[in-house]
Amino acid sequence: MRYYPTFFDLRDRPALLVGGGETAARKLRLLRKSGAAVTLVAPEATPEIRDLAEAGAIDWQRRGFAPGDLDGKALVHAASDAPEADRAVAAAAAARGLPVNVVDDPGASSFIMPAIVDRDPIVIGISSGGSAPVLARRLRERIESLLPARLGKLAAFAERFRGAVKATQAPAARRGFWERVFDGPIARKVLAGDEQGASEAMISAINRQPANDAAPPVGAVHIVGAGPGDPDLLTLKALRLIQDADVILYDKLVGPEIVELARRDAERVYVGKSKGNHSLPQERINALIAERAEAGQRVVRLKGGDPFVFGRGGEELLSLRARGIEAEVVPGITAAAACAAASGIPLTHRGLARGVNFVTGHAEDGEPDLDWPALADGRQTLAIYMGVSTAGTLMRRLLEAGAEPARPLAVIEKGTRPDQRVLTGTLGGLEALVREAAVEGPAMIILGEVAALAAGRPATPQEAAPSRALAL
């Protein structure tokens, strides 16, 4: 991280603002909101600035900058819209070790201003580290649209009751109490503008809980699908649960961008298994999930793709049930669907594939245990998980069972991730394709007529009117 994110306390502290135009006026509004004692230096100023100076709200020095203006200041803004003059202010401030910002000039600044979402006292700062301010602003617009306008009122409401909650709720119960407040009718009343009703409900909620009533912790387990890798492909529910979890137990296929979405204080436990290196046996994982839930933690068992598609989610669910622990399963986008979408291959397509079959190429005893004659049927698409290391066997068994060597296929490696690769070929060349391209995985093999529609390949006239292959 190039910049250190922080919030300055400027209440009643002296701040210097150099500049009297619209740019300076914008900074002045923010400085005043944070309670700074502002000295503004500029020969001319906008009517807004002049009015504030006349009302005694700021100290306007009607002249150019002089180094003595920096005396005793806690923070400096150079916002005169004259780059040379602003840089001179910045250099003088830097020489004295004062934090200084030059508008739109990160190189001359010792701090930069984030795009902010203001729901005072909730303030969200968004920064691209100066690399893409427009992107930061777009993100701000998105966040603005997600947050209720009265969010600040809700934070202020909570602040009013903080002492009472602390005095009446045992430490172990406090967080659960606040969560019920924020997720329930009390918060809804505040956000709807009914502060009176919210206060009454809050007082009765506080009084209902006897002091030191440390309610026994109630844990929860969610077995959550994290999708194929691209964090944007998480479901909203998955995201909410990840952000809510006390502990996240995650697999190898769940990338760091997704694990990083967890709360900072959440525990992250890697329980991934890699081929030939079973870091934790499945029974141990099952026991770990149960132990954490029994200790009252909110557990998210995060699995790549969908938990119920070649993910052993079923085993974990049954093991929890056997211990009397209920778990909710949250589906994720499975790799077959994700890789198909990411490579422009429809898994079913009128005239080309009347069904799709999800199979695993994983071999317990050297050879995948599959119904080869059924899979050789060219009227369906085969989505083969974990098929890279057994590609040669898959190819030979399917050909022996009567599949056409010219049957199109695509191998999608690291689907939806920035380094995704899409390789196309035919069944007869599968082994060589995987070997020559040194496919490492995770990779999905999509076999069937539809694979000929992979993005990037020129469409043939037949593909454009796909009625030839099958009468479906």
Write out the residues near ligand SAM by the rule CB under 6 A. 228-229, 253, 303-306, 309-311, 334-335, 339, 385-386, 412, 414-417, 441-444
Extract long-range pairs of 23-28: CB within 8 Å, 24+ residues apart.
23/79, 23/80, 23/81, 23/103, 24/49, 24/77, 24/79, 24/80, 25/49, 26/79, 27/77, 27/79, 27/103, 28/52, 28/58
CB of 316 to ligand SAM, least distance (A): 12
User: Which one, of 65, 51, 138, lies nearest residue 102 by Cα?
Assistant: 65
Q: Which secondary-structure segment (H or E) carries 328? A: strand 327-330
Nearer to ligand SAM, 340 or 353 (CB): 340
CB of 391 to ligand SAM, least distance (A): 11
CB of 168 to ligand SAM, least distance (A): 45
CB of 441 to ligand SAM, least distance (A): 5
Phi, psi (deg, nearest 5) at residue 163: -60, -45
Residues 6+ apart with CB under 8 A from 184: none
State how far the alpha carbon of 336 is from the alpha carbons of 173, 303, 331, 333, 373, in Å.
43, 15, 14, 8, 22
CB of 372 to ligand SAM, least distance (A): 19
Phi, psi (deg, nearest 5) at residue 64: -80, 170
CB of 238 to ligand SAM, least distance (A): 13
Nearer to ligand SAM, 247 or 253 (CB): 253
Annotated catalytic residue within 105, 118, 273, 377:
273
Nearer to ligand SAM, 253 or 352 (CB): 253
Annotated catalytic residue within 251, 303, 306, 414:
251
Nearer to ligand SAM, 86 or 230 (CB): 230
Angle between helices 313-322 and 282-294 (to 10 degrees): 50
CB of 242 to ligand SAM, least distance (A): 17
d(CA 384, CA 348): 15
Q: Which residue lies nearest ligand SAM, judged by its C-beta?
A: 305
Is 252 among the residues known to form the active site?
no
d(CA 443, CA 438): 11
Nearer to ligand SAM, 101 or 357 (CB): 357
Pairing of strands 381-385, 443-447: antiparallel
State how far the alpha carbon of 108 is from the alpha carbons of 86, 102, 116, in Å.
9, 6, 21
Instruction: Evaluate whether 127 touches 115 at the Cβ level (below 8 Å).
Output: yes
d(CA 56, CA 328): 60
Nearer to ligand SAM, 241 or 335 (CB): 335
Q: Which residue has the tokens 């995650």?
A: 250
CB of 413 to ligand SAM, least distance (A): 6
Residues in the chain: 472
Nearer to ligand SAM, 52 or 309 (CB): 309
d(CA 241, CA 331): 12
Nearer to ligand SAM, 361 or 466 (CB): 361
Q: Which secondary-structure segment (H or E) carries 440? A: none
Is 419 among the residues known to form the active site?
no
Please tell me whether residue 205 adopts helix, strand or coil conformation.
helix
Phi, psi (deg, nearest 5) at residue 220: -150, 145
Extract long-range pairs of 198-207: CB within 8 Å, 24+ residues apart.
198/157, 199/157, 202/157, 202/161, 205/177, 205/180, 205/181, 206/161, 206/164, 206/165, 206/168, 206/169, 207/168
Active site residues: 251, 273
